[in-house]
Amino acid sequence: MARQPIKFGTDGWRAVVADQYTFDNVRACAEGVARLLRGQGAGQGPVVIGYDTRFQSSAFAQATAEVLAMHGIHTVLADGPVPTPATCYNIVARKAVSGVIITASHNPPEWNGFKCRTSYGGSLPQEAIVALEQHIQAVADPTAVARMPIEEARRRGIVEMAGLRQAYLSHLNTALDLKTIRDSGLRIAVDPMHGAGGGCMPELLSGGKAHVVEIRGEPNPAFPGMHNPEPIRRNLDPLAQAVRSSRADVGIAFDGDADRLGVMDERGRFMTTLQVGALLAYLFLEFRKQRGPIVKALTTSSMLWRLGEKYNIPVRETRVGFQYIAPVLFSEPDWLLGLEESGGYAFRGFPPERDGILSGVLFLELMVRTGKSASQLLEQLFSVVGPHHYDRLDLTFPAEQRARIQQAVADAKPALVAGMRVEKRDTLDGVRFTLQGGGWLAIRFSGTEPLLRIYAEADTPQRVQEVLTAGRTLAGL
Q: Output b/e per residue, 420-438; b: 16+ Cβ within 10 A.
A: bebeeeeeebbbbbbbeeb
Phi, psi of 456 (to 5 degrees): -150, 140
| Amino acid residing at 25 | N
What integer pLDDT is reported at residue 387 of this predicted model?
95
Q: Domains, the chain, ranges and CATH?
A: 13-164 (3.40.120.10), 176-385 (3.40.120.10), 389-475 (3.30.310.50)
Percent of the chain with pLDDT over 70: 99
Question: Residues 113-151: pLDDT tens digits?
Answer: 999 999 999 988 889 999 999 999 999 999 999 999 999
Torsion (CA) 333, 335, 340, 346 in degrees, nearest 10: 90
Torsion (CA) 189, 187, 246, 392 in degrees, nearest 10: -40
Question: Residues 158-196: pLDDT tens digits?
Answer: 999 999 999 999 999 999 999 999 999 999 999 999 999
pLDDT exceeds cutoff 60 at 229: yes
Going by pLDDT thresholds of 50, 70 and 90, the confidence category of residue 43 is low
CB 451 within 8 A of CB 396: yes
| Amino acid residing at 400 | E
First to last CA, the chain: 34
DSSP notation for 313-381: --EEEE-SSHHHHHHHHHH-TT--EEEETTTEEEETTS-SS--HHHHHHHHHHHHHHHT--HHHHHHHH
- Sheet holding 389-395: strands in order across? 389-395, 452-458, 440-445, 431-435, 420-426, 416-417
Region 233-249: mean pLDDT is 97
User: How far apart (Å, rounded) are the C-alpha atoms in residues 269 and 271?
Assistant: 6
Question: Residues 268-296: pLDDT tens digits?
Answer: 999 999 999 999 999 999 999 999 999 99
What integer pLDDT is reported at residue 267 of this predicted model?
97
Mean pLDDT over the full length of the chain: 95
pTM assigned to the model = 0.94
